[in-house]
Chain A
Amino acid sequence: MAEDSKPRVRVPRSATAGEAFEVKTLISHKMESGQRKDADGNNIPRSIINHFSCDFNGENVMQVTLHGAISTNPYFQFEAVIQESGTFTFTWNDDNGSVYTDSKDITVG
């Protein structure tokens, strides 16, 4: 259970066109670096979130490639500017092939 990855996202419900606002994302993940060894001296295989992207109405806003040195529960905070209402979609890609997504609607008013 506790090993499951769970995304959390905070986007304001509404924003002003052309004005920057804050987006925060966080996903629970153990981010095993691949550098550690278990009690028997065997390598623990790398298991991390290797890619994150944020899209708005199908258009890419930002993407990040993650590497082995990023600590547990990766957190991103960035600013975005939009001109119209729509939906943010967030995607995290896991080394094991899983894809975690979340989406948030935002209104320009």
Chain B
Amino acid sequence: MKKITLSATLAAGLAIFAGSASAQVDLDAVLNVEGMDITTRAPAADFLDIDEVISGWVYRTKETQALQMDDFENPGMIFVDIAMDDWNTVDGSEGKSCASCHTDGPAEFAGLRAEMPRWNEEKGSLFNMEDYINLMRVEYMGAEPLKWAKPRMDAMVALISLQSRGDTINVAIDGPVSDIWEQGQELYFTRVGQLDMSCANCHEDSYGLMIRADRLSQGQSNGFPTYRLKNAKLNSIQARFKGCMSNIRAEPYAIGSEEFRALELYVASRGNGLSVEGPSVRN
């Protein structure tokens, strides 16, 4: 008897949650940053089991959404300013700054973020933004490489991502990267950790639902680097992977590892059709 009462209560509880969930997510909200309309919903690529890809911005509260619509209110832009100082700062044995070679400023990189990560023919490996920044620092400036997922690196990634804001994500998945992409897909659907969950359990099967006090998004990477209200700083894609893996009580792969590189490529390709938002604001 007691058992029956309990399950009835649970069912009622779930119904309430489901009701409030659909009431709170406004799928038709329009992201307009400083007068620029940004695509937050697009038809999904053929290899996906979902019909539509949706930016994580859609699943945030009205207040958080508003922060991203105004560059002054967007706390991520502070770090873009800081990176701009870094851009002009001479570092390394060659006596150069970024600005010494890139005379047209960061705007030279317009469109780059939309294709990342991508295959670097010359180096024969998959490159993401951090790799390119460190390649320039080491080979042309004679400077120490920046550490991944640290403030200085994340700020520089944000500065370069910003140049592509509004551009449509178009990550190549064929040719030389196809094996890495397959590996990333494998990782995305493999259950790991004590909670025995895969990325897909939350971000493909359950997006839009509540996970404790937070609403699950599709886990798209188009908004990275992301300013999170939770830790008041920019967060890189791979740092977020690490956080997700800790949450499901798995042993995270190392930032910059082969596994995370493959996963970054696969997750980025899931967002093909969305717009570059970085630096975005999330909770």
A residues touching B (Cβ–Cβ < 8 Å)?
1-2, 4, 6, 8, 10, 24, 26, 28, 71-73
Q: Is B59 an interface residue (CB 8 A)?
A: no
Do B232 and A28 touch across chains, with their CB atoms under 8 A apart?
no
Contacts of B155 in A (CB 8 A): 1-2
User: CA A72 – CA B82 in complex, angstroms?
Assistant: 15
- Determine the main DSSP class of A at the interface with B: loop
Q: Is B131 an interface residue (CB 8 A)?
A: no
Q: A6-B85, A26-B72 are in contact. List 9 more A-B contacts (CB 8 A).
A: A1-B82, A1-B86, A1-B151, A6-B78, A6-B81, A8-B77, A26-B78, A28-B78, A72-B232
Contacts of B81 in A (CB 8 A): 6, 8, 28
User: CA A10 – CA B82 in complex, angstroms?
Assistant: 17
Do B232 and A73 touch across chains, with their CB atoms under 8 A apart?
yes
> Residue of A at shortest CB range from B84?
A6
By CB atoms of chain B within 10 A, which of A2, A6, A73 has the most?
A2
Do A71 and B232 touch across chains, with their CB atoms under 8 A apart?
yes
B residues touching A (Cβ–Cβ < 8 Å)?
72, 75, 77-79, 81-82, 85-86, 89, 151-152, 155, 232
Do B151 and A2 touch across chains, with their CB atoms under 8 A apart?
yes
Do B72 and A1 touch across chains, with their CB atoms under 8 A apart?
no
Contacts of A4 in B (CB 8 A): 82, 85
> Residue of B at shortest CB range from A24?
B72
Taking the closest CB of chain A, its distance from the CB of B45, in whole angstroms, is: 36
Do B89 and A73 touch across chains, with their CB atoms under 8 A apart?
no
Taking the closest CB of chain B, its distance from the CB of A7, in whole angstroms, is: 9
Do A6 and B72 touch across chains, with their CB atoms under 8 A apart?
no
List 26 contacting pairs A-B, 8 Å CB cutoff, sorted by A.
A1-B85, A1-B86, A1-B89, A1-B152, A1-B155, A2-B79, A2-B82, A2-B151, A2-B152, A2-B155, A4-B85, A6-B78, A6-B82, A6-B85, A8-B72, A8-B77, A8-B78, A10-B72, A24-B72, A26-B72, A26-B75, A26-B78, A28-B81, A71-B232, A73-B75, A73-B232
User: CA A73 – CA B231 in complex, angstroms?
Assistant: 12
Contacts of B85 in A (CB 8 A): 1, 4, 6
> Residue of B at shortest CB range from A72?
B232
Taking the closest CB of chain A, its distance from the CB of B25, in whole angstroms, is: 28
User: CA A10 – CA B73 in complex, angstroms?
Assistant: 10
Contacts of A10 in B (CB 8 A): 72
